[in-house]
Structure 1
Amino acid sequence: MRPGQTSWGEEDSMAALRHFDSYTETRKKLRCVFDAAQEGLVTTVTRDNERFVVLSADARGAELRRLLPSQAAVVAEAGGWVAYIPGVPVHGDAESFDDAIDDLIAGLREYAEDWNERLHAAPNHAGHRSLVELVELSDDAQLRDWLVGCADAVKDEARALTPA
């Protein structure tokens, strides 16, 4: 036995509080589903032989922002700035670096909405699910941090290139 485990039955009951084998069981123990997910435990629900994972939206958003590199690019162009993510049909443009990032964030929010409405089924957009989750599970400040990240030096350099 592992430390803290009193019997095999206890381990089985702990697993039962985070793995739910049917919709009926899930519905009856919905509080346990959310409690386990809130604790950060791997929590699953099975419906019609398909398993689903239940987790906190905040935890999923933080995980995506940590694991998914933004690959955002910001370039000076014609007296302004253009911000984009290669391979994603969204861009932001404005006179200032910050405003270009704000415009990109607005574009990402529109794209996420369109993706959920219809683009998720299109082969050339289906691979953007993680990006859409990240956008929907982040506020604007979190998206900004993700886009420019710790690259404050890049942002400072961009400001230095802007005519005074």
Structure 2
Amino acid sequence: MSQSATVDYPSYSSARAHFKAVLDASESGRSVTVSRDGQVSVVMQAEHLRKFFFRTVSPRVELASEDGRVIALMSGRPFVSEGATVDDALADLLESLREYAEDWEARLQHAPNHQDNWALIQLVKLSSDEELLEWFERGGE
């Protein structure tokens, strides 16, 4: 007998009562949904989501030199950083993204010019510094 690819819980209560099964199904790669008040949420492994965003969110990092400094910017996004070296500029850019992710969650997520950054924020929150530096170099579309 084969297992269904999706495990659906029609209520929060049923998911809570079967929480180990929810996590087990998620760990095995199955889609797990939980319904509550007409909304459906998905439970999945964070690393699967992070890898998806790594591939689908483009960093669009551009580097330039100006007056002996290295400038790192994300084309089409409001992030510009600088440093004495490329590594310094990228480390500063990474710090700017971390600070932005905190601000986004605290107050910017409902602002019209920031709402579309949800995927970027999830990638930043789910990634280590090393993973984000790799994303700057190899990630995206």
The TM-score, its normalising length taken from structure 2, stands at 0.92
What is the letter of the counterpart of residue 95 of structure 1? A
Q: Higher RCO, 1 or 2 (CA under 8 Å, sep at least 6)?
A: 2
Check whether the contact 1:23–1:46 (CA below 8 A) recurs between aligned residues. yes
What is the letter of the counterpart of residue 123 of structure 2? L
Aligned positions, number: 139
The TM-score, its normalising length taken from structure 1, stands at 0.79
Alignment equivalent of 1:133, drawn from 112, 117, 122:
122
Greater alpha carbon shift after TM alignment, 100-109 vs 54-63? 54-63
Q: Which residue of structure 2 lines up, in the alignment, with residue 58 of structure 1?
A: 47
In the TM superposition, residue 89 of structure 1 has moved relative to its aligned partner by 2.1
More strand, by proportion: 2
Q: Runs of 4 or more off by more than 6 Å in structure 1?
A: none
Question: C-alpha root-mean-square deviation of aligned residues, in Å?
Answer: 1.6
In the TM superposition, residue 86 of structure 1 has moved relative to its aligned partner by 2.1
- SS of the residue 1:121 aligns to: coil
Q: Could you list the runs of 5+ residues in structure 1 that have no partner in the other structure? A: 6-10, 151-164
Alignment equivalent of 1:97, drawn from 86, 102, 115:
86
Q: How does 1:28-43 map to 2 (within 5 A)?
A: 28-43=17-32
Greater alpha carbon shift after TM alignment, 105-114 vs 50-59? 50-59
In the TM superposition, residue 90 of structure 1 has moved relative to its aligned partner by 2.1
Identity %: 35
Q: Which residue of structure 2 lines up, in the alignment, with residue 144 of structure 1?
A: 133
Check whether the contact 1:43–1:54 (CA below 8 A) recurs between aligned residues. yes
Alignment equivalent of 2:8, drawn from 19, 35, 41:
19
Alignment equivalent of 2:110, drawn from 116, 121, 144:
121
